[in-house]
Amino acid sequence: MGNYFISFKNHGVGYTVSQGWRLTEDDYSLNISIDIGEKRVTLQGDRKTQVGSLVRLEGKSGLKGQLQKLSATRLLD
């Protein structure tokens, strides 16, 4: 199981890009959440069009946003 996300703000708008999966189930998710004030819009990605992975950012320094790895929780329900 893996759940990764990176969050950042730009001009007061919050963005969260997330990637999650479970190895024992056919469960995979890609999402982009956009927070403007009290409103949140979540866009679901298509695994077939994915290029790259948030996993590749693990251990990299110098990111303005913060890469997070979650152990047993889902990011977006």
Of 1 and 74, the one with more pLDDT:
1
Backbone angles phi, psi at 32, to 5 degrees: -125, 120
Average per-residue pLDDT in the chain? 77
End-to-end CA distance of the chain: 16
Q: Would you say residue 17 lies in a domain?
A: yes
Distance in angstroms (rounded) separating the CA atoms of residues 39 and 67 = 23
- Give the percent of the chain with pLDDT over 90: 25
* Span 52-73, average pLDDT: 58
Distance, in Å, from the CA atom of 72 to the CA atom of 17, rounded to the nearest integer, reads: 18
Total domains, the chain: 1
User: What pLDDT is attached to residue 1?
Assistant: 67
The whole domain housing 24 covers 2-51+62-68
Residue 33 in any domain: the answer is yes
